[in-house]
Amino acid sequence: MREVNVRDIQKTVKDLCIKANVVLRPDILRALRSAFRLERNAKAKKILKALLENAAAAKRQKMAICQDTGMVAAYIETGEDTRIVGGSLENAINKGVAAAYRKGYFRKSVVKDPFIRINTKDNTPCVLYAKLIKGNRVKITISLRGFGSENKGKVKMFDPTASTGEIKNFIIGVVKDAGPDACPPYLIGVGIGGTLDKSAALAKEAILRSLNKRNKLLHIAKLEKELLSDINKLKIGPMGLGGKTTALGVNILAYPTHIAGMPVAVSIGCHATRNATKII
């Protein structure tokens, strides 16, 4: 049994929150550079240039890429042969978040009660997902959820007899509804199957996956490519000013589901979708 102290988890959470807020994901940076090269629409090109300049400015000045530094989601995957020692895991994670938001001059955007809306002043609590995995490692992923794009996500419970076409139309419709409002070019996460909540969780996990990877299942990888092509035909473009790039990628995750259902969840990730992972 390997022991991991919550102190190390707290430090890792803090470092990951800072990294995710300040350094744009390399796959997104690469996709934006490629979109900039290929774009012919002058306005769209100007916006893509600003996005690249913004990423460079944030990294150079160790500043938040976006002022909406989000609500934090923490994914803790603990090996079955690991024992967490030294105190409460949940407290350690929230302490790590609070330390990062203080040190990094990140915005505290969390309110204690959805009705009363008093700011907790340290950006906690985070949304916590814990999972057991094989081995003795602890894998920590921090994902920051800015609400300009978070607000545009949707879940729909389809009939099991629904056609792929109907499902595609729903996904494209969610992007169309988001329009220029949620900071395109987007990274679209789709979760299909499971239950109402599982599909939403899958859509969020899909967004964490690199744009350079496709789903391992061929029929789903095909759907990802078709959806990306269809979404880019919407011509929303960077900041909604037209052009070729409405989405940088569509990532789908699927899961077994019930004979009576076909849950489909769509999460819209902005051009500054932020997450970082470390294994301890």
Partner 1 sequence: MELSKLNLQKLKVGDIIFLDGTIYTARDQAHKRMAETIKKGKRLPLDLNGKIIYYCGPTPTPKGRAIGSCGPTTSSRMDAFTPLLLKKGLRGMIGKGRRSAEVRKAIKKYRGIYFLTYAGCGALLSKYVKKAKTITYKDLGPEAVYKLEVKNFPLIVCIDSKGRDLYKNLENR
Nearest to partner 1 of 96, 104 (CB atom): 104
Nearest to partner 1 of 135, 173 (CB atom): 173
Measured CA to CA, the distance from residue 280 to residue 139 in angstroms comes to 6
Distance of closest approach, residue 228 Cβ to partner 1, in angstroms: 19
Task: Tell me the C-alpha to C-alpha distance, in Å, between residue 18 and each of 14, 40, 96.
Answer: 6, 35, 10
Measured CA to CA, the distance from residue 95 to residue 92 in angstroms comes to 5
Distance of closest approach, residue 20 Cβ to partner 1, in angstroms: 14
Nearest to partner 1 of 185, 189 (CB atom): 185
10: tokens are: 């707290």
Nearest to partner 1 of 54, 195 (CB atom): 54
Interface with partner 1 by CB under 8 A: which residues? 47, 50-51, 53-55, 57-58, 61, 63-69, 105-109, 117, 119, 121, 148, 151, 173, 176-177, 179-183, 236, 239-241, 270-272
For the beta carbon of residue 135, count every other beta carbon within 10 angstroms: 13
Distance of closest approach, residue 184 Cβ to partner 1, in angstroms: 9
Distance of closest approach, residue 59 Cβ to partner 1, in angstroms: 9
Please state the φ and ψ torsions of residue 268, each to the nearest 5 degrees: -95, 120
For residue 212, give the DSSP letter. Answer: T
Nearest to partner 1 of 79, 125 (CB atom): 125
User: Tokens 């992007």 belong to which residue?
Assistant: 175
Which SS3 state, helix, strand or coil, does residue 276 take? Answer: strand
**Entry field: residues in the chain:** 280
Distance of closest approach, residue 242 Cβ to partner 1, in angstroms: 9
